[in-house]
Structure 1
Amino acid sequence: MKRGLTRRLRAVGLAVLAGSWLLALAPADGAQAAPTRCPGHQVRILPFSAGAVHVFRRHGYVCALTVAARPGTARPVSVSVQARGSLPVSAVGRRSHRAGPVTVHTGHRCVRVAGSVGTRSVRSGWILC
């Protein structure tokens, strides 16, 4: 009988521990979580009045996404990435928070990144050369 009680207590303890880890990893209400939908490490942030374009790089690929500064009603949001010598790849839609991610194979080529939220936008020159 004592062995069954010990197993149940251990199971309850593990469940409480797992729940506390989930709560610790979840962002608090109202806190904007950092964009993590792109693989790799963040190499640039292109801020503008309505938001920012976050640029990531990993193993010859560049990924970008646009995040609105103030999420709210749905409005046009876009992000575009172009490797030098290639056509741009973009994600456009009516969203309340973000556009993207868009990933492009760049190898060692320069890239041009653009993003917009509503009528505000930002464009980079050739970067990451």
Structure 2
Amino acid sequence: MGSGTRGVIRRLAAGVAVLTASGVLALAAPGSAQAAAVHACAGRKVRTLSFTTGSVQVFKQGRYVCAVTYAKNPRGTKPMSVSVQARGGRPWRIQKRATRQVGPVTVYAGHRCVWVKGSVGRTAVSSGWILC
């Protein structure tokens, strides 16, 4: 067998392995792929901060806090932002023009309070210190 043939066989074997693994995952947990697409953050949802043009969803997993800003009206791009700050730390922020969502932003909070902010257009929400 020549070196070119071995390369082709190796690539074919890798492709079969990927297809097999994806098939097994699809059969083992058919709802998990859909659930992952619904939430941009890992963990459980602990708060929803609603305002007139959107909402910020806050999630917690272990000692990490994650937030995503969603627009109520996904038509057209608009300035959006999301920010998470653990007490004693600096805020982590994403600010950009988007249609549906901005984020996720995840920070290590440990056992500290966090301050979450989000905006869509000119309207914003600020949580104050939460999850203490």
Q: TM-score, normalised by structure 2?
A: 0.72
> CA shift at 1:35, angstroms?
4.5
Q: For residues 43-88 of structure 1, give each alpha carbon's deviation from its aligned partner in whole angstroms, at most 9, with x where no partner exists.
A: 0000000010000000100000000001011010100000000000
Q: Which among 81, 92, 107 is matched to residue 110 of structure 2?
A: 107
Structure 1 counterpart of 2:89: 86
Cα distance in 2 between the residues matched to 1:35 and 1:106: 24
Inter-partner Cα distance in structure 2 for 1:35 and 1:74: 21
Code of the aligned partner of 1:106? A
Count of aligned positions: 104
Match of 2:44 in 1: 41
Seen in structure 2, the aligned counterparts of structure 1 residues 120 and 35 have a Cα distance that, compared at 3 Å, is farther
User: How far apart, CA to CA, are the structure 2 residues paired with 1:49 and 1:100?
Assistant: 19
Instruction: Describe the SS at the equivalent of 2:76.
Output: coil
Q: Secondary structure at the match of 1:39?
A: coil
| Structure 1 unmatched ranges of 5 or more | 1-17, 27-33
Q: Which ranges of 4 or more aligned residues in structure 1 deviate by more than 2 Å?
A: none
Instruction: State the alpha-carbon separation in 1 of the partners of residues 48 and 39 from structure 2.
Output: 13
Q: What is the aligned-residue RMSD (CA, Å)?
A: 2.3
Aligned position for 1:121: 124
Q: Distance in 2 between matches of 1:35 and 1:83?
A: 25
Matches within 5 A, 1:24-63: 35-63=38-66
The aligned residue for residue 78 of structure 2 is 75
Aligned with 1:112: secondary structure? strand
